[in-house]
Amino acid sequence: MLAWLLDSDWLLPFDHRLISWTDMHPSVIRHVRSWSNIPFITVPLSRTHGKSFAHRGELKHAKRIVVKLGSAVVTRGDECGLALGRLASIVEQVSVLQNQGREMMLVTSGAVAFGKQRLRHEILLSQSVRQALHSGQNQLKEMAIPVLEARACAAAGQSGLMALYEAMFTQYSICAAQILVTNLDFHDEQKRRNLNGTLHELLRMNIVPIVNTNDAVVPPAEPNSDLQGVNVISVKDNDSLAARLAVEMKTDLLIVLSDVEGLFDSPPGSDDAKLIDIFYPGDQQSVTFGTKSRVGMGGMEAKVKAALWALQGGTSVVIANGTHPKVSGHVITDIVEGKKVGTFFSEVKPAGPTVEQQGEMARSGGRMLATLEPEQRAEIIHHLADLLTDQRDEILLANKKDLEEAEGRLAAPLLKRLSLSTSKLNSLAIGLRQIAASSQDSVGRVLRRTRIAKNLELEQVTVPIGVLLVIFESRPDCLPQVAALAIASGNGLLLKGGKEAAHSNRILHLLTQEALSIHGVKEAVQLVNTREEVEDLCRLDKMIDLIIPRGSSQLVRDIQKAAKGIPVMGHSEGICHMYVDSEASVDKVTRLVRDSKCEYPAACNALETLLIHRDLLRTPLFDQIIDMLRVEQVKIHAGPKFASYLTFSPSEVKSLRTEYGDLELCIEVVDNVQDAIDHIHKYGSSHTDVIVTENENTAEFFLQHVDSACVFWNASTRFSDGYRFGLGAEVGISTSRIHARGPVGLEGLLTTKWLLRGKDHVVSDFSEHGSLKYLHENLPVPQRNTN
């Protein structure tokens, strides 16, 4: 640990833990205004280090960072000691960022709490000794602890606090230096210059400065009843101090850690309180501030004032929760990585609504959509289908821009997914009209009717799920398909497309909203165009009811991992198998294998593993399969058993659980149908699996025993598709085992609710001595309109 003694003319390092400093940069305009107890110095708007970051994603470029630790973060719940676990996590994160080449500074509280713990221990020890000497007894009476003065606590705790920081930072081979200030020090221009020089020198030597107000000598703070007689001094001062240091040192980012998740539009804990993701100057009027934190003299209002002052000086600010590591995770590093944590202060307002506002619009728009007549929802979808063909030229022109920008950046299979054509648009329009036809009796359909008792009838009816978030990559044709299914099912919809399809998605979304406008529900479908990361979208559990990923297996896995509290419908992989039985037809096999593998190898329902009955090896049928694959330029990977049969084998497969998504195929040998089923269950993804055989008994055994979403007999894997199933379109293929499985169309986007109609019925009437009895009679259900 290094400490520095500041004088008016020179700097001298010395071996001591407590020092005094002060200084601010002389270029600052010397006009003073006061917030709280610390005067604020007005800073020119033009700064050498530039303006603050406009978006969270830019925070990863922050070089110089100040982290302010509030008293509630540093102290334990009993306010008598430090929260060692939290401090260890904070030190680890600061060290990680420091070792990345960033310049980290800490503004910390905690000396009073640490000193209180030490003084309480000393008082108890001394009282017990005196009492034992006075009474001559070993039994101690209950002893009262006097009120401890905060400045004495600070004096006793400061050295211990810094020793703790020193020990923690040493574990990461980082040196830390302590700097103490008082309010009066800021009035001396020479001391401000000294401070600036000292901090720059420490940063130059890769040392982490740890700054705190010298609470041992500051004036007494106002009494704080929450602390039961012990006042934690200068928390407001530390908020202001952190902002002051951030501006003076031209830092890129100030992170203020408190005991709340960030800034709310009303006091946290109130019924309508909502976390504000981004706060802009001038938004103070929309915020109602509550009481301060459980310890300290400052509250959120002081933090906001300090944050806005720092923002005005060119420093970006985030206020976040630092008290619950299990909830907030690595909050400091998450903030620097640009994740949506806490409240981000920005001077740049987005042109459109925030994603939270879009979620609310989708919710209200979806509820209005659900109240429309089925014919009206069908009319919207028909109109969208017409627009796809009528506006074909504009759509293809936008798609051409996407393809030109993606050339050389995307692999060939992804470029094929990105591409739109006249035939694709025509197919889309046909699929949408199928959806419109099937939507006539979807929402509000009665599934069950029961007479509970006389004049007490129960119905179970279909209703929309709520708000869907669909995330898709390189598939602009996905947008109208998913939108039509959401409209037909009365769901609100948030769409997050890949940036590679930005132009195509934009015009397709405009056409969707044009169709929705004919019945006044334009806002039911929203396209997220902000810089929201997928992981951040997955945290909006109060706005989103179901997430549906459409893209690579990695995307699906990432979303399943990131979605906490929101169900995810989808499949992480499409490892589809085809088992060629010993009784397979020679004429059928090559057609089925070619179509399953070569028709569209990038699709999730493309064949990835071909299982061959061992009796077919070295037969004309096997030779025909291999010849066809060579003609189609399919690269073959040999499974372990297949490789053992060959003198010169193709490259042996690295994993039998691989989704190639290209003209590559794994071939493996199995002994019989049961062996094939065992292989599929071990290495498959429960997506789509096929048997090719002329033996009906073998086929039925396969169909009944393979546990996958889609199981076929003598049919291509490519039939696993909502359009081909007659669903009109699909939002995806689900391999989960609840709610929906396989291609998910309109039915998979509905849930149910119960409607009970009675006449002054109460449960007590059905008790043992009541006047009514349960009937539980099944009643006829209205026939579904299948026209």
Q: Where are the domains of the chain?
A: 56-127+148-218+232-345, 355-427+460-562, 577-730
pLDDT reported for residue 7: 36
pLDDT band with cut points at 50, 70 and 90 for residue 250: very high
Interval 463-473 mean pLDDT: 93
Beta bridge partners of 284: none
Quote the mean pLDDT of the chain: 83
pLDDT attached to residue 288: 64
Bigger pLDDT: 221 vs 550: 550
Is 80 exceeded by the pLDDT of residue 291?
no
Q: Whole-model pTM? A: 0.74
Residue 23, pLDDT > 80, answer no
- Report the pLDDT value the prediction gives residue 228, as an integer from 0 to 100: 34
pLDDT of residue 79: 61
What topology is assigned to 577-730 in CATH? Aldehyde Dehydrogenase; Chain A, domain 2 (3.40.309)
Q: Give first-to-last CA distance, the chain, whole Å.
A: 81
Both structure tokens of 232: 């934690």
Nearest-angstrom CA–CA distance, 466 and 486: 10
Give the 3-state secondary structure of residue 622: helix
Q: Give CA–CA dist 220/213, Å, rounded.
A: 13
- Rg from Cα positions in the chain: 34
The Cβ of residue 139 has, within 10 Å, a number of other Cβ atoms equal to 7
Which helix (H) or strand (E) segment is 476 a member of?
none
Cα-to-chain-centroid distance, residue 60: 17
- pLDDT grade for 31, boundaries at 50, 70 and 90: very low
HEC secondary structure over 351-420: CCCCHHHHHHHHHHHHHHHHHCCHHHHHHHHHHHHHHHHHCHHHHHHHHHHHHHHHCCCCCHHHHHHHCC
Q: Which residues contact 334 (CB under 8 A, 6 or more apart)?
A: 328, 341
> Strand 467-472 and strand 492-497: pairing?
parallel
Please tell me the distance from the alpha carbon of residue 730 to that of residue 727, in angstroms, as a whole number.
Answer: 7
**Percentage helix, strand, coil, to 5, in the chain?**
40, 20, 40
Q: In the numeric block, which tokens belong to residue 632?
A: 């189609």
Residue 732 — φ and ψ, nearest 5°? 155, 180
| Average pLDDT estimate for 506-532 | 93
Amino acid at 674: Q
Helix pair 620-631, 586-598: axis angle to 10 deg: 30
Pick 355-427+460-562's CATH classification: 3.30.499.10, 3.40.1410.10, 3.30.70.20, 3.40.605.10: 3.40.605.10
Is the per-residue pLDDT at 429 higher than 70? yes
- CA dist., res. 294 & res. 79, Å (int): 9
Tell me the C-alpha distance between 702 and 678, whole Å: 11
Q: Compute the distance between CA of residue 509 and CA of residue 437 in angstroms, rounded to an integer.
A: 22
For 557-583, write each residue's pLDDT tens digit.
888 888 878 999 877 688 999 999 999
H or E element at residue 733: strand 732-734
| CATH code reported for the domain at 56-127+148-218+232-345 | 3.40.1160.10
Q: Residue 676 is inside which H or E element, if any?
A: helix 673-683
Q: Which residues of 13-43 are buried (b: 16+ CB within 10 A; e: fewer)?
A: eeeebebebbbbbeebeeeeeebbbbebbeb
Smallest Cα–Cα separation from 104: which of 175, 161, 54, 6? 175
Q: Is beta strand 576-580 parallel, antiparallel or unpaired with respect to 546-550?
A: unpaired
- Sheet (strand 64-69) strand order: 11-14, 2-6, 176-181, 208-213, 103-108, 64-69, 253-258, 316-321, 343-345, 278-279
